[in-house]
Amino acid sequence: MRVVVTGGLGALGSQVVHHLEQDGHETVVASRRTGVDLEAGTGLDPLLTGADAVVHTADTTSPRRWRSMTVGGTRAVLDAARRAGTPHVVTISIVGCERVPYPYYRAKRTADELVLASGLPATVVRATQFHPFAAQIGRALRLGPLALGVRGMRVQPVELSWVGRRMAQLATGEVPDGARPGPDLAGPDVLDLGEIERLLATHDGRRPPRFLAVPPLGATMRAFGPQGGILAGPDAEVGGTPFATWLAAQPR
Ligand SMILES: NC(=O)c1ccc[n+]([C@@H]2O[C@H](COP(=O)([O-])OP(=O)(O)OC[C@H]3O[C@@H](n4cnc5c(N)ncnc54)[C@H](OP(=O)(O)O)[C@@H]3O)[C@@H](O)[C@H]2O)c1
């Protein structure tokens, strides 16, 4: 099959490309480095000609671009898919984005709603935090001998390669009649921030920081914290390696 992968040079997209190619599929990367700008809405049409599927992983972490890229980029992919003869569109979102009133999560939810209302054959996959991002959060919370984090916050980090493989399988599997929510993908263990700090410290060969739990002020902190808003529900697909296994394979 011929599959276009937006953001195919990024962390998740490169995993999707890897697994598609391993299974013998033809892949086409669509990102600014290959002449496609989803915010400007340029460059995607010619790549979609003859495509069986498009896996949309391109996105931004820049708050200034959440409207133009997270939402607008998704709209551009859907419009191009419609013009190209409706290949199967597979997108990636975040588990719990409907529960956490954080602006980026709101943008992801709006993008998901666009896909689900598109009438196209489409699958909205969602994932919990990728292992490297969970490690990045843990390191960002450290202040010398201390680590500061929202009380009650837990994460369920997931292996990027496994998410990439599942997206590749979904893109080349059965084409749905219309747009549907896909699986929520989550890692095998739920860790509180203190455990993440201990694992990171052990890996780095230093003493674990003292964890100071900050009271959850406001709806966003409560959702990230004691409400467990970013944890997967009972219907999620759980897989990939545990965080500690991934961490052990990383350079110090
Ligand atoms: N990080 C997590 O823990 C996590 C968890 C769940 C879901 N997700 C979702 O996973 C997705 C991928 O995340 P990631 O970590 O793989 O991101 P990433 O490594 O930053 O990759 C995103 C890619 O998007 C491309 N891009 C950015 N702006 C573009 C534009 N205007 N037009 C075309 N391409 C553009 C970039 O390539 P160029 O620079 O070449 O354009 C980049 O390679 C996101 O949708 C995110 O919400 C992430």
| Residue 23 included in any domain | yes
| Residue 244 included in any domain | no
Q: Is the CB of 38 under 6 A from ligand 1?
A: yes
Are the beta carbons of 71 and 115 closer than 8 angstroms? no
- Give the separation between CA 190 and CA 203, rounded to whole angstroms: 19
Atom nearest to 12 CA in ligand 1: 16
- Give the separation between CA 88 and CA 167, rounded to whole angstroms: 12
Atom nearest to 70 CA in ligand 1: 45
| Residue 251 included in any domain | no
| Residue 169 included in any domain | yes
Q: What domain count does the chain have?
A: 1
Average pLDDT, the chain: 97
Tokens of 15: 């995993």
Per the structure, the complete domain to which residue 78 belongs is given by: 2-128+159-186
Atom nearest to 127 CA in ligand 1: 6
* CATH code of the domain containing 22: 3.40.50.720
| Residue 194 included in any domain | no
Residue 252, pLDDT score: 86
| Residue 56 included in any domain | yes
The residue nearest atom 11 of ligand 1, judged by CA position, is 57
Cα–Cα distances in Å, from 179 out to 75, 116, 122?
Answer: 14, 5, 4
- Give the separation between CA 56 and CA 112, rounded to whole angstroms: 12
| Residue 247 included in any domain | no
Mean pLDDT of 168-179: 98
* End-to-end CA, the chain: 39
CA atoms within 13 A on the CB side of 187: 24
Q: Is the CB of 133 under 6 A from ligand 1?
A: yes
The identity of residue 227, as a single letter, is Q
Atom nearest to 91 CA in ligand 1: 45
CA of 12 to the centre of ligand 1 (A): 7
| Residue 214 included in any domain | no
The radius of gyration computed from the CA coordinates of the chain, to the nearest angstrom, equals 19
pLDDT tens, 59-106? 999 999 999 999 999 999 999 999 999 999 999 999 999 999 999 999
